[in-house]
Amino acid sequence: MTITTNTQLPALTQLPSTYLIELNNFGAISLSGEEQSKYLQGQVTCDVNNSTEQSLLVGAHCDAKGKVFSVFRLINRSAAHLLLQPKTSIDSSLNALKKFAVFAKVTIEEVKDLTFIALVGEQASVLLQREFSQVPDTLNPVVQINSTSLVYISGEQPRYIIIDDPAAITSLVTSLALPMFSQKVWDLLEITQGFPILTASTSGHYVPQMLNLQAINGISFTKGCYLGQETVARMQYLGKNKRALFSLHSQLEQDLQEDDVIQKQLGENWRKAGDILAYYQADDGNCYLQAILANDADQPTMRIAAQVASVVTKQALPYTLDTSK
């Protein structure tokens, strides 16, 4: 796909009103076959029985101990279930799904023949209406038009994931004639909207509630058994979970490094505050972080350990962390 991508990394407030994102680190796991729904229902936290051609579900795939392999958005396309997620979380989830599928009539594979882009902003819906006969919305967040899947992501800014073969995507991008940003800008939006981003290094370390899955309708507490359910239920009903996912911000003088640590002040000392899952550092030094921190009422002073003058602050999430059901 020969698409020119803007290499600039704007701060959140500097993004244009409407723009495209090349989702080159985006992928999917496909499940097809007559037992695909039954099998997937026993593997993930969301209720697959609620999945339709027009629905969008959020869920997690866990190991037997309730630790999350991947967080995904579930859609239907071409008589298959697609688990949309970053490519970096696919391998561990794919291997586990295949491991338990040997006796089920289901085919499980990574999707490699499709291209993903996102259209974001206030004019996104209007522009899509010029290109397609139907546009997804809150009531029907997924629309299939010929070979194109359109997926609506609600939030502060409307987002649409567009899925098709490379040639069709290239043609659409040419027609839209909008600035195209890199995958990092998508990560920025996921961070600010509180949608967890897992990579190969963070896969298998956290239970769903640490990633706020219960707050974004990613866990069904009424469906039947699934892998890791016992741990998930215990965390929910016995109040065992003491950590949660937060959106953070800092203004940094230097580039954030992969191994950097967030610290919190305890008296005259500093201690590790939590784990960084993902970050986006704008060209002007604005840094947006997604991290797992203690879920309590404390508002400690925080910093990046390697940049002692930095100040890290919590940002408001678009949902509540109240776990009562």
- φ/ψ (deg, to 5) at 191: -60, -50
- 263-295 burial, b if ≥16 CB within 10 A, otherwise e? bbeeeeebeebbbbbbbbbbeeebbbbbbbbeb
H-run or E-run covering 191: helix 183-193
**pLDDT at res. 69:** 97
Written as one letter, the residue type at 32 is S
Residue pair 208/312 in contact (Cβ under 8 Å)? The answer is no
Nearest Cα neighbor of 156 from 184, 193, 126, 197 is 193
Locate 261 and state its tokens. Answer: 């640590």
pLDDT score for 325: 45
pLDDT, residue 237, reads 87
Residue 153: name the closest of 25, 52, 57 by CA: 57
Query: Tens place of pLDDT for every residue, the chain, 325 residues?
Result: 467 889 999 999 999 999 999 999 999 999 999 999 999 999 999 999 999 999 999 999 999 999 999 999 999 999 999 999 999 999 999 999 999 899 899 999 999 999 999 999 999 999 999 999 999 999 999 999 999 999 999 998 999 999 999 999 999 999 999 999 999 999 999 999 999 999 999 999 999 999 999 999 999 999 999 999 999 999 988 877 899 999 999 999 999 998 999 999 999 999 999 999 999 999 999 999 999 999 987 889 999 999 999 999 999 999 998 755 4
**CB neighbour list of residue 294: distance below 8 Å, 6 or more residues apart:** 242, 243, 273, 274
- d(CA 28, CA 184) in angstroms, rounded, equals 18
Longest dimension (CA), the chain: 63
Task: Please give the domain boundaries of the chain with CATH numbers for all domains.
Answer: 12-193 (3.30.1360.120), 208-315 (2.40.30.160)
- Residues 6 or more apart in contact with residue 137 via CB below 8 angstroms: 125, 152
pLDDT at 323: 54
- Angle subtended by helix axes 166-176 and 124-131, to nearest 10: 120
Residue 34 confidence (pLDDT): 97
Residue 240: the pLDDT is 77
What pLDDT score does 1 carry?
Answer: 47
